């Protein structure tokens, strides 16, 4: 946690003016819901933090430190906060629950921004069991929706990321993912309510047709769609979304396929993605290397072998982790996915096809755990084993302990490049970056996500505060290597790298960037909303000079 000696202020505001602004914001939301500095008021973080900040800073500890926070409860309060922000040109940074760990948490790109924290807006507006959708406010967590559904006995399996305490709205807007068949959250979002920087409220899609019952059912609406403008964006404050949920299946199979060699990754992902495209496997597969597999072991000796070197400041070598995998009878790669169906016959037929396809890889091993509702009804996720990955949507927090594996107060950044699903490019890239990670002295933590038409090849860099500069250098190197040697870049990034990744998306002399910049200037001329998010700015010379961003 950053403990600055000097008070952090919004750029371009005198201290006395800022105090006046805080008084006005407090009048709107009530004093307990305004933080007059960044040190209190946030939901508790993974290591007990209550501050607003990038909890695991990569550079100067105050590079992304906010000056305070405001926690409105209603759309009307947001509108009034935006009015003050426009009047004083106060930079805000919007979060729903502020748990964007690994991507900057509740830190802001412009230091001294005031965090617009929406976690108090936590109403579940509607859950429709038959049509399998929910409409939620930003403060609703994955735990909240799961519990709401359990309390009412609805036969639905809402999706959930590895950590259930984040917000459905925040995770979806950042294009996050969970692990049920409806796990690509951005694909499942249907209908949105947004407060624009002017304070006007916009409803997208069928929400624009007053009284329509179709808001969370038909995404398109009439004419151009604008939902995409609010993804990884700073063009508005999203206050509601509709999200589609997975109907609880009658049968469920939790499946694992292991392949023996590092070089098998190409074939593994090619077969896996085809199974997903064809609907034989209905969720996305997570793929783990030996180090990642060791962390999920229940044997303390195995875990110790993986994390021991890191605790001493070194790293688990790929050679030793490969040896460990062989000793344990694991493959080098483990793919973990699930099959969902309305009958036992359906999932058995799918599983037979899965086994036949993977038989093409010498040494591949496939195992599955099968569950079928005895009376022909639908399965309740709460009655099934929790499983290593939330394939049933059962929320948990277990993965948060990963961040401390190299020592207390650790953190991580997730290098998240996109690849085509044929596996060739991923295989070449992995062979190239593995030595880079080892050379930088970090554990090789691969957590690849295989979808029908793309792969997110996440390399998690776990670091202690003392290793932050080295982690940043490695990340810089991975970004440069990816874009220069494979023409790949990230689908989502940490706030520290947003301008850099924006520059990678430069086709047509950066026309996309310029178009987004024009929209930003039109919708938010005073630049009050999340300046710099995804590299999009309402450029203003005084602001960029004040924050020392010479690259703009």
Q: Using CB under 6 A, list all residues that contact ligand FAD.
A: 94-102, 118, 138, 161-163, 166-167, 169-171, 173-174, 176-177, 237-238, 399-400, 402-403, 530, 533
Report the C-alpha gap between 349 and 334 in whole angstroms: 22
Inter-residue contact 236 to 529 (CB < 8 Å): yes
Q: Which of 283, 256, 250, 279 is nearest to 268 (CA)?
A: 256
Least CB distance from residue 222 to ligand FAD, whole Å?
24
Q: Where are the beta strands (DSSP E) in 342-440?
A: 365-372, 411-415, 418-419
145 φ, ψ to 5°?
Answer: -70, -40
Which of 73, 99 has the CB closer to ligand FAD? Answer: 99
Kindly tell me which of 161 and 423 has the beta carbon lying closer to ligand FAD. 161
Nearer to ligand FAD, 106 or 427 (CB): 106
- By C-beta, is 169 or 483 nearer to ligand FAD? 169
Q: Which residues pair with 189 in a beta bridge?
A: 243
Dihedral sign of CA atoms 151, 156, 158, 159 in order: positive
Shortest Cβ 323–ligand FAD spacing (Å): 27
Alpha-carbon span 455 to 423, nearest angstrom: 9
| E strands, 445-552, in order | 445-450, 455-463
Cβ nearer to ligand FAD, comparing 169 with 265: 169
- Following DSSP, what letter does each residue of 58-118 receive, concatenated? SSSTTTT--SEEE---SHHHHHHHHHHHHHHT--EEEESS---TTTTTT--SSTTPEEEE-
Local structure of residue 485 (DSSP, 8 states): H
d(Cα 54, Cα 49) in Å, to the nearest integer?
A: 11
The helix (H) or strand (E) run that includes residue 151 is helix 142-152
Q: Which phi and psi (to 5°) does residue 405 adopt?
A: -70, -20
- CA pair distance 77, 71, nearest whole angstrom: 9
**Which residues are within 8 A (CB) of 113 and not within 5 positions of it... i.e. 6 or more apart?**
10, 66, 67, 91, 92, 93, 530, 531
The least distance separating ligand FAD from the CB of residue 326, rounded to whole angstroms, comes to 27
Distance separating alpha carbons of residues 320 and 329, to the nearest angstrom: 14
| Nearest CB to ligand FAD, comparing residues 168 and 275 | 168
The answer to whether 418 touches 454, Cβ cutoff 8 Å, is yes
- Distance from C-alpha of 55 to C-alpha of 43, rounded to nearest angstrom: 13
Residue nearest to ligand FAD (CB): 166
203 strand-pairing partners: 193
Question: Closest CB to ligand FAD among 67 and 100?
Answer: 100
Nearer to ligand FAD, 14 or 401 (CB): 401
Looking at beta carbons only, is 378 or 400 nearer to ligand FAD?
Answer: 400
The minimum distance between CB 171 and ligand FAD, in angstroms, equals 4
Please state the closest distance from residue 16 (CB atom) to ligand FAD, in A.
Answer: 30
**Minimum Å distance from CB 532 to ligand FAD?**
10
Task: Pick the closer one to ligand FAD by CB: 85 or 267.
Answer: 85
Can you tell me the distance from the alpha carbon of 162 to that of 221, in angstroms, rounded to the nearest whole number? Answer: 32
Residue 485: CB minimum distance to ligand FAD, A: 27
Q: Min. distance of Cβ 343 from ligand FAD in angstroms?
A: 30
Nearer to ligand FAD, 118 or 269 (CB): 118
From the CB of 359, what's the least distance to ligand FAD, in Å?
30
According to DSSP, the residues that pair with 103 across neighbouring strands are none
CB of 197 to ligand FAD, least distance (A): 11
User: Minimum Å distance from CB 395 to ligand FAD?
Assistant: 11
| Distance from C-alpha of 297 to C-alpha of 290, rounded to nearest angstrom | 11
Calpha distance 531→542 (Å, rounded): 13
Q: Are residues 140 and 167 in contact, defined by beta-carbon separation less than 8 angstroms?
A: yes
Q: Give the containing element (helix H, strand E) for 344.
A: helix 344-358
The CB-of-116 to ligand FAD minimum distance in angstroms stands at 8
Q: Between 94 and 189, whose beta carbon lies closer to ligand FAD? A: 94
Phi/psi for 157 (5° steps) reads -120, 90
Q: Can you give the length of the chain in residues?
A: 552
Give 174 or 276: the residue with its C-beta nearer to ligand FAD. 174
Query: Cβ 329 to ligand FAD, closest distance in Å?
Result: 27
């Amino acid at each position: 946690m950053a403990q600055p000696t000097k008070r952090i202020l919004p750029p371009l505001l005198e201290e006395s003016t800022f105090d006046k602004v805080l008084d006005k914001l407090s009048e709107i939301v009530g004093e307990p819901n305004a933080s007059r500095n960044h040190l209190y008021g946030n939901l508790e973080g993974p290591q007990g933090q209550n501050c607003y900040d990038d909890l695991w800073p990569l550079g100067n500890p105050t590079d992304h430190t906010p000056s305070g926070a405001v926690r409105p409860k209603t759309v009307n309060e947001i509108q009034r906060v935006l009015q003050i922000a426009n009047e004083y040109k106060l930079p805000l940074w919007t979060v729903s629950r502020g748990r964007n760990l690994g991507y900057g948490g509740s830190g802001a790109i412009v230091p001294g921004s005031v965090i617009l924290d929406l976690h108090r807006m936590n109403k579940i507006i509607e859950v429709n069991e038959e049509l399998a959708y929910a409409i939620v406010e930003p403060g609703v967590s994955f735990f909240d929706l799961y519990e709401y559904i359990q309390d009412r006995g609805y036969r639905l399996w809402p999706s959930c990321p590895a950590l259930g305490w984040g917000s459905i709205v925040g995770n979806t807007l950042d294009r996050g993912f969970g692990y049920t068949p409806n796990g690509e959250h951005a694909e499942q979002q249907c209908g949105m309510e947004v407060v624009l920087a002017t304070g006007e409220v916009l409803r997208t899609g069928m929400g624009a047709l007053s009284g329509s019952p179709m808001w969370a059912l038909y995404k398109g609406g009439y004419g151009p769609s604008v939902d995409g403008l609010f993804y990884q964006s700073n063009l508005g404050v999203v206050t509601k979304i509709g999200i589609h949920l997975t109907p609880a299946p009658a049968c469920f199979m939790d499946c694992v396929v292991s392949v023996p060699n590092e070089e098998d990754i190409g074939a593994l992902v090619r077969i896996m993605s085809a199974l997903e495209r064809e609907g034989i496997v209905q969720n996305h597969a997570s793929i783990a290397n030996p180090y990642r597999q060791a962390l999920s072991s229940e044997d303390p000796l195995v875990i110790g072998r993986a994390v021991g070197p890191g605790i001493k400041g070194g790293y688990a070598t790929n050679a030793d982790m490969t040896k460990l995998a062989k000793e344990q009878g694991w493959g080098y790669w483990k793919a973990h996915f699930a099959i969902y169906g309305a009958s036992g016959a359906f999932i058995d037929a799918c599983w037979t096809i899965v086994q036949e396809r993977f038989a093409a890889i010498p040494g591949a091993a496939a195992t599955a755990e099968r569950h079928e509702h005895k009376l022909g009804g639908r399965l309740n996720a709460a009655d099934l084993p929790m499983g290593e990955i939330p394939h049933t949507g059962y929320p948990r927090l277990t993965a948060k302990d990963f961040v401390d594996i190299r020592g207390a107060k650790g953190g991580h950044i997730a290098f998240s490049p996109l690849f085509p699903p044929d596996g060739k490019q991923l295989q070449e890239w992995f062979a190239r970056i593995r030595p880079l990670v080892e050379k930088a002295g970090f554990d090789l933590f691969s957590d690849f996500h295989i979808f029908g038409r793309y792969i997110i090849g996440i390399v998690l860099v776990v670091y202690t505060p003392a290793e932050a500069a080295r982690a940043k250098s490695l990340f810089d190197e991975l970004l440069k290597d990816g874009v220069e040697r494979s023409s790949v870049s990230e689908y989502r990034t940490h706030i520290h790298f947003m301008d850099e990744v924006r520059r990678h998306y430069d086709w047509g002399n950066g026309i996309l960037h310029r178009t987004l910049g024009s929209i930003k200037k039109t919708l938010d001329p005073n630049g009050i909303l999340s300046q710099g998010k995804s590299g999009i700015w309402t450029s203003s010379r005084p602001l960029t000079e004040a924050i020392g961003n010479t690259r703009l």
